[in-house]
């Protein structure tokens, strides 16, 4: 797909490869779908993809300053070796999504629904799961600067593989599994 078609529009992109794109902005309108596709070596300052769908796709080596994808849907997606400064994914639905060796600044998943989502060897500066619903969420070898869980509903959330610097509201940990060392670190706040 050429850069102009990738950068703007509402037409679905199925079974395509977006490679080596360096763009100032990408604006996806409507409910644009990226299906059975691969995005690699993408550099973009501002990617607007409200209510977009990413299905059965791989995003690798993406460098995105701002991703605005509220109310988006992610199904069977891998995000590999990517950097995202700010990801606005509030009210999104993520199912069977795996982030591997990614660096994420502010990851806003407020009100999102996450099922079978994994972070492996990632660095997340600020993870906001306020009022989110998460089932089978894991963080293997992942460093989290600040974790906010106020009002979240967690089920089978595994934080044992995460290095946590700060947790906002401790009551949000209900439904999460932590290690004894993590418990001892947060004990004074309890």
Using CA atoms, how far apart are residues 130 and 151, in angstroms rounded to an integer?
6
Using CA atoms, how far apart are residues 143 and 125, in angstroms rounded to an integer?
8
Q: Is the dihedral of CA 128, 125, 134, 175 positive or negative?
A: negative
> For the whole model, what pTM was predicted?
0.95
Mean pLDDT of the 80-94 span = 98
Q: Given pLDDT bands bounded at 50, 70 and 90, which one contains residue 12?
A: very high
- The rounded mean pLDDT for the chain is 95
Taking residue 20's Cβ as centre, other Cβ atoms within 10 Å add up to 11
Hey, what are 66's tokens?
């701002």
Report CA-CA distances (Å) from 56 to 35, 37, 83, 100, 139: 6, 7, 20, 16, 22
pLDDT surpasses 90 at 122: yes
45: nearest Cα among 68, 25, 30: 25
Q: Which helix (H) or strand (E) holds 4?
A: helix 3-7
More confident residue, 182 or 108: 108
| pLDDT recorded at residue 125 | 98
Q: Given pLDDT bands bounded at 50, 70 and 90, which one contains residue 99?
A: very high
| pLDDT recorded at residue 22 | 95
Residue 82 DSSP SS3: coil
Asked if residues 12 and 31 have their Cβ atoms less than 8 Å apart, the reply is: no
Point out the least confidently predicted range of 60-64, 118-122, 183-187: 183-187
């Amino acid at each position: 797909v050429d850069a102009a078609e990738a950068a703007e529009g509402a037409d679905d992109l199925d079974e395509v490869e977006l490679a080596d794109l360096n763009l100032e902005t990408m604006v996806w309108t409507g409910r644009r779908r990226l299906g059975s596709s691969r995005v690699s070596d993408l550099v973009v300052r501002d990617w607007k993809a409200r209510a977009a769908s990413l299905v059965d796709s791989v995003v690798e080596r993406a460098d995105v300053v701002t991703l605005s994808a509220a109310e988006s849907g992610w199904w069977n997606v891998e995000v590999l070796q990517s950097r995202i400064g700010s990801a606005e994914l509030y009210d999104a639905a993520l199912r069977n999504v795996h982030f591997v060796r990614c660096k994420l600044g502010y990851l806003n998943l407020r009100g999102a629904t996450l099922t079978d989502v994994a972070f492996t060897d990632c660095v997340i500066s600020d993870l906001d799961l306020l009022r989110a619903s998460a089932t089978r969420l894991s963080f293997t070898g992942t460093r989290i600067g600040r974790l906010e869980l106020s009002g979240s509903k967690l089920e089978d959330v595994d934080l044992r593989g995460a290095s946590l610097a700060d947790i906002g509201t401790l009551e949000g940990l209900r439904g999460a599994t932590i290690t004894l060392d993590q418990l001892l670190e947060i004990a004074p706040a309890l």
